[in-house]
């Protein structure tokens, strides 16, 4: 075998076209090959680690042994190009396009409104398409499994699931059962049209799925597979060689001569190591063509499974075997099937191999504890021999290491049959129910001799309780030869507690929780075994019903979306108020929609990679770029001295450097940037830059530390109404409490992206960027380069999600990129990787809220004093404005006569936090609602009663003297209780909780009053430019940016109504600073309000200009009028302007009018909680929202659902962890969990309040982008309600502390079950925790 040769030719197919690569680069993944080499940009980069599904493609292979073709979905970001020899790949472009035909999957996701920003849509399409290729009539279970590995940050998933549900042919889907309130009302009776509820989409008009129309598998590949006498393939690249041996002998020789070379099958383990940890393997061996690794043989004792089989194949194999044997023989098979269903995502399981999963020896492995407990073994070969090695405690030596020698290869894995009287169970707990690494896993097996409850043999293994899979050997010894009863088990719990000890600073944290899970799992195993012994009549004593544990419910039910019909007299042509599909949903679903990084490479374009600080608080003593400049492809390094214009930007009187020069104040602060000819070269160049530091004393990370040292950003804000001190003297009771609300990462699916192109003369630049405020980018670039703004044009076509995270930081990044473009005089592209993006750009402010509340025994709150501390990070950013908005919303829906609020933005050495959907309101109201919950707990009354007693009623004024009428807020509240059947379900929950000891249900109902528009009056303005061309087509430009919220769709509706022409004649191309200047940010839920009025103004001007033409020819067509107007020399272009409300807030007088109006809503949420693990499921959610008269109900309901799910993430799931030195640990989807399909409420109903009007905004509508995010807290308070029910079992009543997010860890520990009470708490201060409590 010679690696020095040219290398072989790689041959595979993409979308039916043959691709031959003569110089395949082993380090290239399919994703970059598709995007950069073939310019197939429909497949998106979302995370690079197989965690988000944005890059999903379908891989098809021919199996000569069985003469079958298999199709499976996979993540292109982890698929090495060299692995694709002989495969056929289908991307979203190959599924369908607007030029040829749209595939039913694409059509249905788009028309069901399942695409908002559209960045995740191609991945969703591919996951669903692959499922349909394998199973044209899937079940709901199939669909949720297929989509489990695809994340979406915009929609809340409900519309995606509804679109896919139309392929279902299930009896239990309501559409087949003809249920009255079906999720899709089918056959309509014309007489009923009046009373009938309008639907968001009509499934009758969908094109049916025709499996015969799909791309065929290329016959050439079948021929190649059938005839080829397999020979070894070798591919050599810049730094790595890739060898694909054809036989087991050759594989053994390769491994003997290169024992350090990894074997790569699915690349789901080696891939992320290479990408994120910078590991370099000069030689990679890929044994995908060694047939011995894929053989399956049955023996009387069990089954040998080839180590190369993918986890999906192993699962299917076991599922086929289970029905062929008696139940007692397949206990282990069934336990493995269960674990395989939860391990990773569909895309990962389709490529990851069984042998790879075992050999990676992860401490929290899902399979290893079960395989070990089940007495499995592996068959291992090396040159000169084969041996069988049992999988037991001796197999796993240390982190990622097994007892096998480097040159040994696992060929197959033996999975034995179980015996009569033998039971095997697997349990796991993970931060998110699906597609998530486990926290703790376990495999447990017990064997009883026939007819006895005496334990003959037992095996218990845990994952996640140390650096390796561990055996609980002493616990097993305490069980063996003893009868399986309470006495034996209570002894076993104590032994286990003693045996599996984690040091308090163990990596991964959550120490008390992990220890309590080991006990909970053993207890769950105990319950299952008792159940089995009872079934076999070994024991006769009845098990109390109360203690049995059923799994949490998971069936997604059809949901309701209720909105009002447009009025009878509205013209059919007028689209306003109708549920119109997002105007680019189809091109988003076909992958044709162009995002910033999809723009083709410019000539000699460079790529920019940032170098960031690795210290939280230090002086920079040296910056050595010489080594970076010597690397291939590196062109230049940009440092602060290179900036020709302004190097330091000022906000609120605080300075922020674009690039740090002499000192750094957080890990992740930008110091310099490397520009190179490719992404890979720029990344390597950045890694080669050497920076030396001198640490400065005492970095500050938490708000407590900042408060102690008075590190605040001035001004500190205060607001008060009434006299709190006097009021406290008159109340019946006073309660004090506090709550922490964690931060949140934006996790927009498209990371920060920009391309700066020098035009080549007079210092003119074009900036193509993904940002919410093009005008800010324009001015930052101009100031940074020291040129006038008229030389910089900023273009925003669309944004792949933003949520507030693409305003301030994006402009700073654009400034740095523009310096590189100016200095090199070449186009420069900067696209952050997910990890860098999360590290650098900050997120939502974590807040600590402390309150003191005085109330009467009847529940009236008379006085409250609240102090908010926000962790602002190392620069001021928009933190002062966030603090102001926090204080302005601290009354929420409640009329508290004496109120005092103080807010402080704390200056810390963490990356600066910034705007995030809701802008402080979700933190502000959370503290208030928690305070009200505490009052209810002290008084022992239902929280909703306390809420009701204290609500604003009748004409009211806020604490800053803004007058408003709360009627619609009270209507939302009442309607929410009616629609959700609150009273009856409350009773049902109480009965459920009496009947279940280890599972509890909880429910809460929460209101919101949210102020719309910018408190800074000058930001409430907007402009538009409308052109009518001679053929009658219309081009609209306005100042808003499209980020999935559907603003372009709504502007098209506005123009259509005002010009009285169909929307198909109106086009919106992009948002750019050369068509509409001096725009304001698309933020504060004000985009449609402002820009809609501006577009309306321009269209009315044009329509009036055409009046004389219409009078001359009233019967003429629109085209004829336009043509006539041109010959009459009438201008067919107009600007529109909207001067929004003059809002202000006087902080000295503590009064003002900071908002134009309020958007109201209420949410009722019910959850079911597993008290032993803290896992929960949102069973049902009902949202009633007052948004005036919706301009587009489908878009608005999409915003409501998406905001609710983002709030659900904030309050129950998403956790940012920082190391003790201030480094963000959670830098990607594998560590940071945003809600996935498995987190959607099983019933998710949205009702738009009927007969509501709003005189302050366009067509009587209301802003809806942000308000509903806070209502995700209904899930938090429902969990808290369920926890309270669990605590009462342990005799604990009254208020208790539960911080946000209410992760399974927090919920489980708060339940205070007998198992968590056994865990000794570690004393704070006696150890260094793994992560800071921010």
Q: Active-site residue numbers?
A: 1266
Q: Which H helix or E strand runs over 852? A: strand 847-855
DSSP 278-337: ----SEEE--TT-GGGG-EEEETTEEEEETTSBHHHHHHHHHHHGGGS-GGGGHHHHHHH
Q: CB under 8 Å to 861, separation ≥6 — which residues?
A: 853, 854, 855, 894, 896, 932, 935, 946, 950
Q: Provide the 10 A C-beta neighbour count for residue 1251.
A: 8
Taking the alpha carbons of 1083, 1085, 1086, 1089 in that order, is the dihedral positive or negative?
positive
Are 1249 and 971 a contacting pair, CB within 8 Å?
yes
Helix (H, G, I), strand (E, B) or coil at 179: coil
For residue 1074, give both structure tokens. Answer: 């050369």
Residues in the chain: 1334
Phi, psi of 461 (to 5 degrees): -130, 145
Please choose, from the candidates 313, 332, 308, the residue with its C-alpha nearest in 3D space to the C-alpha of residue 322.
332
For residue 114, give both structure tokens. Answer: 């399942």
Question: Could you report how far apart the first and last alpha carbons of the chain are, in Å?
Answer: 55
Sheet containing strand 618-624, strands side by side: 663-664, 618-624, 690-695
For residue 480, give both structure tokens. Answer: 């063996």
Cα 258 versus chain centre, distance:
40
CA-based R_g, the chain, Å: 31
Are 694 and 619 a contacting pair, CB within 8 Å?
yes
- CA dist 1231 and 51 (Å) reads 10
HEC secondary structure over 20-62:
EECCCCCCCEHHHHHHHHCCCCCCCCCCCCCCCCCCEEEEEEE
Q: Which H helix or E strand runs over 738? A: strand 733-741
Residue bearing tokens 């950045």? 686
Q: DSSP class of residue 251?
A: H
Strand 618-624 with 241-244, pairing: unpaired
Phi, psi of 65 (to 5 degrees): -60, -45
- CA dist 2 and 917 (Å) reads 57
Helix (H, G, I), strand (E, B) or coil at 613: coil
Quick one: how many helices (H) and strands (E) in the chain? 39, 50
- CA dist 248 and 1030 (Å) reads 71
1046 CB burial (10 A radius; 0-12, 13-18, 19+): buried
Q: What is the dihedral of CA 120, 123, 128, 129, to 10 degrees?
A: 140
For residue 649, give both structure tokens. Answer: 């930007």
Q: Provide the 10 A C-beta neighbour count for residue 1270.
A: 30
Are 362 and 440 a contacting pair, CB within 8 Å?
no
Please list the alpha-helical segments (H only) found in 568-624.
Answer: 585-590
- CA dist 188 and 190 (Å) reads 6
Please list the alpha-helical segments (H only) found in 322-428.
Answer: 331-342, 346-351, 354-359, 368-373
Cα 677 versus chain centre, distance:
32
């Amino acid at each position: 075998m010679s690696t020095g040769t040219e290398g072989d030719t790689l041959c595979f197919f993409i979308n039916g076209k043959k691709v031959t690569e003569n110089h395949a680069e082993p380090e290239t993944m399919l994703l970059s090959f598709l995007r950069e080499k073939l310019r197939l940009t429909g497949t998106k980069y979302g995370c690079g680690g197989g965690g988000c599904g944005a890059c999903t493609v379908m891989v098809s292979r021919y199996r000569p042994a069985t003469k079958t073709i298999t199709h499976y979905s996979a993540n292109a970001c982890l698929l090495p190009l060299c692995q694709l020899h002989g495969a056929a790949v289908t991307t979203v472009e190959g599924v369908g396009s607007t030029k040829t035909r749209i595939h039913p999957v694409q059509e249905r996701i788009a028309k069901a409104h399942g695409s908002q920003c559209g960045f995740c849509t191609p991945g969703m399409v591919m996951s669903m398409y692959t499922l349909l290729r394998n199973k044209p009539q899937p079940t709901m279970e199939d669909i949720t499994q297929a989509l489990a590995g695809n994340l979406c940050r915009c929609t809340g998933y409900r519309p995606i699931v509804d679109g896919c549900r139309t392929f279902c042919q299930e009896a239990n889907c309501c559409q087949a059962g003809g249920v009255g309130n079906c999720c899709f009302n089918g056959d309509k009776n014309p007489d009923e049209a009046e009373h009938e509820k309008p639907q968001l989409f009509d499934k009758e008009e969908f094109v049916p799925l025709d499996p015969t129309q799909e791309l065929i598998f290329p016959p050439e590949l079948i021929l190649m597979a059938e005839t080829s006498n397999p020979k070894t393939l070798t591919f050599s690249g810049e730094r790595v060689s890739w060898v694909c041996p054809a036989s087991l002998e050759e594989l053994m020789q390769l491994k003997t001569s290169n024992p350090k070379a990894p074997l790569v099958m699915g690349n789901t383990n080696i891939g992320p190591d290479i990408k994120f940890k910078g590991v370099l393997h000069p030689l990679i061996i890929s044994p995908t063509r060694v047939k011995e690794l894929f053989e399956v043989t049955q023996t009387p004792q069990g089954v040998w499974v080839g180590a190369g089989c993918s986890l999906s194949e192993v699962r299917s194999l076991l599922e086929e075997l289970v029905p062929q044997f008696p139940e007692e023989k397949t206990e282990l098979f069934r336990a493995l099937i269960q674990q395989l269903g939860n391990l990773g995502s569909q895309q990962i399981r389709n490529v990851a191999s069984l042998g790879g999963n075992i050999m990676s020896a992860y401490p929290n492995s899902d399979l290893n504890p079960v395989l070990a407990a089940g007495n499995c073994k592996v068959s291992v070969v090396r040159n000169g021999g084969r041996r069988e090695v049992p999988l037991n405690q001796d197999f796993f030596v240390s982190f990622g290491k097994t007892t096998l020698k480097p040159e040994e290869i696992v060929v197959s894995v033996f999975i034995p049959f179980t015996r009569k009287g033998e039971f095997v169970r697997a349990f796991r707990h993970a931060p998110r129910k699906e597609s998530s690494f486990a926290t703790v896993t376990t495999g447990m097996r017990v064997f009883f001799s026939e007819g006895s409850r005496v334990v003959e043999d037992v095996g218990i293994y845990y994952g996640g309780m140390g650096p390796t899979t561990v055996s609980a050997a002493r616990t097993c010894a305490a069980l063996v030869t003893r009868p399986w009863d309470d006495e034996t088990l209570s002894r076993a719990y104590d032994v286990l507690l003693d045996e599996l000890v984690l040091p308090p600073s163990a990596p991964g944290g959550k120490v008390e929780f992990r220890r309590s899970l080991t006990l909970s799992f053993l207890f769950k195993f105990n319950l299952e075994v008792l159940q089995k012994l009872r079934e076999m009549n070994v024991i006769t004593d009845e098990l109390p019903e109360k203690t049995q544990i059923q799994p949490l419910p998971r069936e997604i039910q059809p949901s309701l979306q209720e909105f009002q019909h447009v009025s009878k007299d509205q013209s059919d042509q007028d689209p306003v108020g109708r549920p119109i599909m997002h105007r680019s949903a189809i091109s988003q679903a076909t992958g044709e929609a162009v995002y910033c990084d999809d723009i083709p490479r410019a000539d000699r374009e460079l790529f920019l990679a940032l170098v960031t600080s690795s210290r939280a608080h230090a002086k920079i003593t040296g910056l050595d770029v010489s080594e970076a400049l010597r690397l291939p492809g590196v062109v230049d390094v940009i440092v602060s001295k290179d900036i020709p214009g302004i190097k330091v930007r000022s906000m609120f009187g605080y300075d922020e450097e674009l690039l740090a020069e002499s000192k750094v104040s957080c890990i992740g602060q930008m110091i310099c940037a490397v520009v190179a000819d490719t992404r890979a070269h720029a990344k390597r160049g950045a890694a080669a830059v050497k920076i030396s530091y001198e640490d400065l004393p005492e970095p500050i990370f938490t708000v407590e530390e900042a408060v102690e040292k008075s590190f605040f950003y001035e001004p500190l804000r205060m607001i008060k109404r009434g006299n709190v001190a006097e009021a406290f003297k008159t109340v019946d009771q006073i309660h004090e409490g506090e709550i922490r609300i964690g931060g949140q990462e934006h996790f927009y699916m498209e990371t920060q992206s920009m391309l700066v192109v020098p035009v080549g003369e007079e210092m003119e630049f074009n900036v193509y960027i993904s940002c919410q405020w093009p005008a800010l980018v324009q001015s930052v670039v101009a100031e940074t380069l020291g040129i006038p703004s008229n030389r910089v044009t900023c273009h925003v076509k669309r944004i792949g999600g933003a949520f507030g995270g693409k305003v301030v930081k994006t402009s700073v990044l654009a400034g740095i990129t523009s310096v590189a473009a100016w200095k090199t005089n070449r186009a420069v592209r900067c696209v952050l990787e997910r990890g860098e993006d999360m590290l650098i750009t900050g997120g939502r402010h974590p807040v600590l809220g402390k309150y003191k509340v005085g109330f009467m025994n009847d529940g009236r709150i008379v006085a409250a004093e609240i102090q908010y501390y926000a962790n602002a990070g190392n620069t001021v950013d928009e933190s002062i404005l966030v603090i102001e908005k926090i204080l302005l919303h601290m009354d929420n829906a409640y009329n508290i006569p004496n109120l005092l609020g103080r807010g402080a933005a704390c200056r810390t050495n963490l990356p600066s936090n910034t705007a995030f959907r809701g802008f402080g309101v979700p933190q502000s109201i959370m503290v208030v609602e928690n305070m009200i919950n505490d009052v209810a707990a002290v008084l022992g009354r239902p929280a909703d009663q306390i809420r009701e007693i204290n609500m604003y009623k009748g004409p009211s004024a806020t604490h800053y003297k803004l007058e408003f009428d709360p009627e619609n807020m009270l209507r939302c509240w009442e309607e929410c209780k009616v629609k959700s059947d609150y009273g009856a379900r409350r009773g049902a929950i109480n009965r459920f909780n009496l009947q279940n000891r280890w599972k509890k249900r909880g429910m809460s109902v929460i209101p919101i009053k949210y102020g719309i528009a910018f408190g800074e009056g000058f930001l409430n303005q907007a402009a538009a430019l409308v052109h009518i061309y001679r053929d009658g087509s219309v081009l609209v430009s306005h100042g808003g940016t499209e980020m999935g919220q559907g603003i372009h769709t709504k502007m098209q509706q506005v123009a259509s109504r005002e010009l009285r022409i169909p929307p198909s004649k109106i086009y919106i191309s992009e948002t750019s600073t050369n068509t509409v200047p001096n725009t304001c940010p698309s933020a504060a839920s004000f985009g449609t309000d402002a820009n809609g009025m501006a577009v309306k103004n321009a269209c009315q001007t044009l329509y009036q200009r055409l009046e004389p033409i219409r009078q001359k020819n009233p019967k003429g067509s629109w085209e004829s009028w336009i043509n006539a107007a041109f010959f009459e020399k009438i201008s067919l272009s107009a600007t529109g302007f909207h001067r929004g409300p003059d809002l202000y807030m006087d902080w000295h007088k503590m009064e003002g009018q900071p908002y134009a109006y309020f958007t109201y809503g209420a949410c009722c949420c019910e959850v079911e909680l597993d008290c032993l693990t803290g896992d929960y499921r949102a069973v049902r959610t009902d949202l009633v929202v007052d948004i005036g008269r919706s301009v587009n109900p489908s878009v608005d309901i999409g915003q409501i659902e998406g905001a609710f799910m983002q709030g659900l993430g904030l309050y129950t799931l998403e956790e940012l962890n920082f190391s003790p030195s201030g480094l963000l640990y959670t830098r990607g989807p594998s560590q940071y969990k945003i809600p996935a399909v498995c987190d959607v409420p099983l019933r998710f109903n949205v009702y738009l309040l009927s007969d509501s009007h709003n005189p302050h905004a366009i067509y009587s509508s209301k802003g809806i982008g942000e308000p509903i995010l806070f209502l995700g807290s209904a899930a938090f308070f429902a969990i808290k309600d369920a926890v309270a029910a669990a605590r009462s079992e342990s005799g604990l009543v009254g208020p208790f502390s539960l911080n946000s997010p209410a992760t399974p860890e927090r919920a489980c520990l708060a339940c205070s079950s007998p198992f968590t009470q056994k865990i000794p708490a570690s004393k704070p201060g006696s150890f260094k925790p793994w992560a800071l409590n921010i």
